[in-house]
Structure 1
Amino acid sequence: MLSTAAVTGLTLTLGTVASPAQAQSLVPQTDEEAKSMIEDREAEDSSSLNKSNVPEGVSVEQARKVVDKSDEITTADVEYAAALEDLPDSGVPEDFYQTPATLPENNGDVVKQTASKFYLDPIKLIEHSAESETFMYRTTDEEGDARAATATLLTPEGADEQAKDAVVIAPGTQGIADKCAPSRQMGMGTEYEGISVSSALAAKHPVVVVDYIGLGTEGDHSYLNRVEEGRSVLDAAKAVQQVEGSSIDEDTKLQLRGYSQGGQATAAALELAAEWAPDLNIASASAGAVPADLYATVSDLSSVYTAFLLYGVDSFAKKGGVDLSEYLNQKGLDAVETASNECTIDALLTNAFTDTTTLTKDGASFQDLVDEEFASIVDKQRLGRAEIPDIPVLVNHSRLDDVVPFELGEELASTWCDAGNRVAFEDNLGPTHIGGYIASLPRVEIFTSRTFDGKAPLDSCWRL
């Protein structure tokens, strides 16, 4: 559930003078560079916030309170959210996301494709040099219905005509509205996963960025639904082999990669791979800050992240056929409706420190609502109960994560070890959820390079 636009401060601090090469060089290559980036975020001061750089609907006082009381959200994030309100469209035609009357017969078949852009800043001054192509493909939702989903293929300059390896990125929490889809946000320079994408492209790997079912295309996006996320990832990896101009084919070694919600999607894809996509050439996987047990995650979630609870309640209610008006008061219903149309940063700012007991008719918390109505749905998202491919897997997690408990990552790694898998467990001391993301990037790239080269990474199972 990567909680805020990690590297939004990256592009804002660059101002208008950075070139694509300079922007890519700011992706941390070492632990020290990652530490420096985290320290720069922590040093930001809320006093610079004013009416001109705070999103509409959020007061200056509220924004300053969130920044001052949370180590997660910074001044740059608030300014970035305000900048998004005046952005042009993504460059991908709106009708591209419309599902045709008939979909192809097989999962992973391409429906259509279109040229797109990847900008590193919301002013669209820093366009990445990678070639970008957005494509639609067929997949299947949890109910067994055929669905159209979208993803984006980015090919770095100087890439081989036939890719030896490629990275498939499952993104962190974007929101549940269509406008929040990564394929849309990359074209607007507002996609926080840009730092992970740039990191992989700098290593000359083609990259596939997944949108998930219902994020951009028709129908609901079922937030944190492991089946639909996992299928979206696997079918995107199959479909990219059919994309015109793609250098990825059946022989290309693939790494599945994700953090937070993306870590959950990556782990889910691994658990589904043998049955859903047995022919994919998955060589390794990297899953960070995985909410392997949503019940434990919700139980420990700070009120800074009420937006995530609103996303979840909205999605779980639709999946379970629950009428929220029976449980939520008007304030609660309005909060769910508003959050469902906001992307991550806006939703976090709007709902930070909201006490969920003020949103229910009887004064119960959202935790109580989960216990009463959504326990079975939440339990179905539990990871670690199925076999995964016999490939090197990296699990990374910050001991200071304030969204997904560190113990969940350690437990998942241990579970996979007990099942006989080769697991490298990398903990770090990146402060907060976002700090853990930044701190993990250099180690993820080292792991990626080693596994693509056929070298076995260090196995951590002996100490778990």
Structure 2
Amino acid sequence: MKKIITAAALAAAAVAMATPAQATATARQPSTQQRPAILPAGNGDVLSSEPGVFFLDPLKAIKVDAAVHRIMYRTTDRTGKTIAVTATVLNPVKSKYGRRPIVAFAPGTQGLADKCAPSRQLADGTEYEALPVKKLLDEGYAVVVTDYQGLGTPGVHTYMDREAQGRAVLDSVRAAQRLDAVGLPDAGPVALYGYSQGGGATAAAAELAPAYAPELKIKGAVVGAPPADMNKVADSMDGSAYGAFFNYALSGLATSYGIDTGPYLNAHGKRVTSDLRDNLCTTQALAKYPFLNSRFLTVDGRPLTERLRRAPWDRIVADQRLGKRKPAVPVLLSHSALDDVVPQQVGKTLAADWCRQGVTVKFAGNHIPGHIAATAGTVTEGLPWLADRLADRTAPSTC
């Protein structure tokens, strides 16, 4: 039996471990699970679980009919250090499947603050990717949504860290399979799905799976608008309507690699970076800091994109590059030609890199205007493609 803990107990533990300045903020955010002193031996082992809810709206008028559990599970960070991560496991009440498939839903950009964790936003009715999650449930799939490293757990979210994100996705599947309260098959079919940051995390998980989680029966991966090459994505984002995302990436990767960004930033840059790190989720960040240009944040007036091309950042950026490793499963890669955050050529290059390695890839381009709106294209293409993979039909290829 897994340990069941209440939201009140979790909140109390969070406040007890917080500093005085943090305690007030934490108290306003219930159900913050804390890492136990000793973690179990296996990646994907469930550390704790509690009942949850899933609402489609912030008024909490539309509750999704599914069994929901918020869990904490073991995974490892980029360096291989054992860490605890939270996630939400959702099981539809009705399903046409006997051995119910599990879809690992890797969320897109949420923000860096703990309040932005998908597990909280699904419960609060504020998760902007709620509809894709519900569509997967409507298809009869169980869904597990990771919070990634540092969202809902102590520390800064390691946003854009390829290995940490990919491992968190794969271990969320293991955790869902091991959760006694849900009763999903231990060796049942699995699929991976994600858009934007989630597309990158899904791609990373597909590349890592052969070595990191070879026992998972992954049938395919739906990868939407993946930020596969940070140099090209950073150039596109900095100074754009999505400039806050570049700042997220700087904070996330600096945390993962132990770099102090303070010396790069002027006083204004430090205030903005702190605000984005500690207070603002995606929609709030885009509204408060539209067209954020990093050259106004630096002590030397140069954009931070220039620094990415110098040591140690050049190596860090290279570490995040997708397409160097071979997924062992078919991939659908969906990307709009009118994407204003991740250029479509980035997705085309990733597809070509995988094709050269012998991966079965279908590149599904579309002309939906804008990065956010184009998530609909990934849903439209992805659901029937997933259904075919789970039915063991031959995967199409555009290689």
**TM-score, normalized by length of structure 2?**
0.89
Aligned equivalent of 1:436, options 364, 368, 374? 374
State the shift of 1:166 in Å. Answer: 2.1
State the shift of 1:208 in Å. Answer: 0.9
Alignment-derived partner of residue 84 in structure 2: 148
Are 1:163 and 1:206, in contact at CA under 8 Å, matched by a contact in 2?
no
RMSD over aligned CA atoms reads 1.7
User: Residue 372 of structure 2: SS of its match in structure 1?
Assistant: helix
Q: Which contiguous aligned blocks of 4+ residues in structure 1 show a shift greater than 6 angstroms?
A: none
What amino acid does structure 2 have at the position aligned with 1:385?
K
What amino acid does structure 2 have at the position aligned with 1:381?
Q
> C-alpha distance in 1, partners of 2:183/2:220?
19
Alignment-derived partner of residue 16 in structure 1: none
Structure 1: stretches of 5+ with no match in the other structure: 1-87
Alignment-derived partner of residue 19 in structure 1: none
Alignment-derived partner of residue 231 in structure 1: 167
Aligned equivalent of 1:406, options 325, 344, 352? 344
Q: May I ask how many residue pairs the two structures share in their alignment?
A: 370
User: Residue 48 of structure 2: SS of its match in structure 1?
Assistant: strand
Correspondences of 1:25-424 after superposition (within 5 Å): 93-95=30-32, 97-159=33-95, 163-301=99-237, 302-341=239-278, 342-372=280-310, 373-389=312-328, 391-424=329-362
Are 2:395 and 1:457 aligned? yes
Are 1:172 and 1:258, in contact at CA under 8 Å, matched by a contact in 2?
yes
State the shift of 1:249 in Å. Answer: 1.9
> C-alpha distance in 2, partners of 1:458/1:89?
49
Alignment-derived partner of residue 42 in structure 1: none
Structure 1 pair 448/247, CA: closer, same or farther in 2 (3 Å)? farther
User: Residue 132 of structure 2: SS of its match in structure 1?
Assistant: helix
Q: Deviations over 1:168-222 (max 9, x none)?
A: 1000011111111101110000111101101101111111111111111122211
Larger displacement relative to structure 2 (326-335 or 157-166) = 157-166
Q: Deviations over 1:238-271 (max 9, x none)?
A: 1111112324223311110001100110111111
- Percent identity among equivalent residues? 40
| Structure number having the greater helix percentage | 1
Q: Deviations over 1:340-365 (max 9, x none)?
A: 12111111111112332211111101
> C-alpha distance in 2, partners of 1:198/1:135?
19
What amino acid does structure 1 have at the position aligned with 2:185?
D
> C-alpha distance in 2, partners of 1:229/1:346?
23
Larger displacement relative to structure 2 (200-209 or 152-161) = 152-161
User: Residue 231 of structure 1: SS of its match in structure 2?
Assistant: helix
Larger displacement relative to structure 2 (293-302 or 392-401) = 293-302
> C-alpha distance in 2, partners of 1:171/1:269?
13
State the shift of 1:141 in Å. Answer: 0.8
Structure 2: stretches of 5+ with no match in the other structure: 1-26
Q: Deviations over 1:54-84 (max 9, x none)?
A: xxxxxxxxxxxxxxxxxxxxxxxxxxxxxxx
Q: Deviations over 1:430-453 (max 9, x none)?
A: 101012111221211110111111
